[in-house]
Structure 1
C-alpha cells in the first residue's frame, strides 16, 4: 500500500517592531496548526514563536517576519529581522545551559536557550547583502510529532 505524500503548507506574517507582535504571532500559530492536524505541537510552537519574535522585536529596529511551514509530522518556525548578528547558539557556537546561573547574564537572555532545548533542530543564517545596504538574519527551529526523534519510547 502506498501512502499519500504529506500536504505541504506555508504561511508568512509580516510583523511591525511593536511589543504586541509576539502575541499576534502566537495567535497565528494557534490558528494555523489545527488546520493541518498539528494541535499536539501548539503549546511548544507558541512558546518558540514567542521567543523568536520577542528576540526580533527587542533587539532590532526594523520589522520582522514570521514564517511557518510544515507537513503532516513536522513544522518549521522561522523569524527574519533586520539585524545581521546571529546570536549563540544559532550561530553554531555553544550557548548557555538552561537553568544555569551565569554571573552577569540577565534574566531576559535565556529565550533562545529555551528554543534550543525544546526544538528538534534549530539554526540561523544571514540575509541580504551589506554591500547593497540590505542585511538581516533568519533564525529557525523545527518541531516534530514523531516521539522517537527525541529519544522517547512511544
Structure 2
C-alpha cells in the first residue's frame, strides 16, 4: 500500500441545526474517500465516530455555527472542529449507564493523537488517525 505524501486540506462550515452532525460526518468521510487515502474501513468507521463526537460537542456547546477542517498531512488524517465556545473540553468520568459524557474518552482511546487549541474567538478540537503500518515499515521498525 503506497502512502500519499501530498498534504491536502478541505474546510467546510457546519450550521447549528438538528441534522448538522450526520451531514458533517458524511462530508468528512466523502472528502477522505475522494482523496483515496490508504485507510481501511475500520479506520474510516472510527473517523466517522470521532468526527460525530467532536462536531456534536461544538454544535451543542457553542453559540452558532462551527467549521470543520479535514487535513491529510502526508502521514496522518487530521479532523479539526473550530467553534466559538471558549471553554476547553476535557474527558470526564461518568456512571456506567450515563447517556452522555463519553465522547472525549472515545476520542482519546481511538485517535492516534488529539487535543485542543484556544483561539481568539473560541477553540479548535482536533484528532488524528493514522493508516496501518505497511509491511515494509513494520519490518524496518523491527530491524531498528
| TM-score tier after normalising by the smaller chain length | 0.7 to 0.9
Match among 106, 110, 113 for residue 102 of structure 2? 110
* TM-score, length-scaled by structure 1: 0.75
Q: What is the aligned length?
A: 132
- Report the RMSD for the aligned CA atoms in angstroms: 2.7
After the TM superposition, list the runs of 4 or more consecutive aligned residues in structure 1 that deviate by more than 4 angstroms. Answer: none
* TM-score, length-scaled by structure 2: 0.80
Gapped regions of structure 1 (runs ≥ 5): 90-94, 129-134, 149-154
Per-residue CA deviations over 1:80-122 (Å, capped at 9, x if unaligned) read 1010000114xxxxx43xxx636xx942111111111110101
> Residue 26 of structure 2 corresponds to which residue in structure 1?
27
C-alpha distance in structure 2 between counterparts of 1:141 and 1:4, whole Å: 19
Q: Which moved further from structure 2: 117-126 or 65-74?
A: 65-74
SS at match of 2:44: helix
**1:146 Cα deviation from its structure 2 partner:** 3.2
> Residue 69 of structure 1 corresponds to which residue in structure 2?
71
C-alpha distance in structure 2 between counterparts of 1:4 and 1:115, whole Å: 24
> Residue 89 of structure 2 corresponds to which residue in structure 1?
87
C-alpha distance in structure 1 between counterparts of 2:103 and 2:46, whole Å: 13
**1:7 Cα deviation from its structure 2 partner:** 1.2
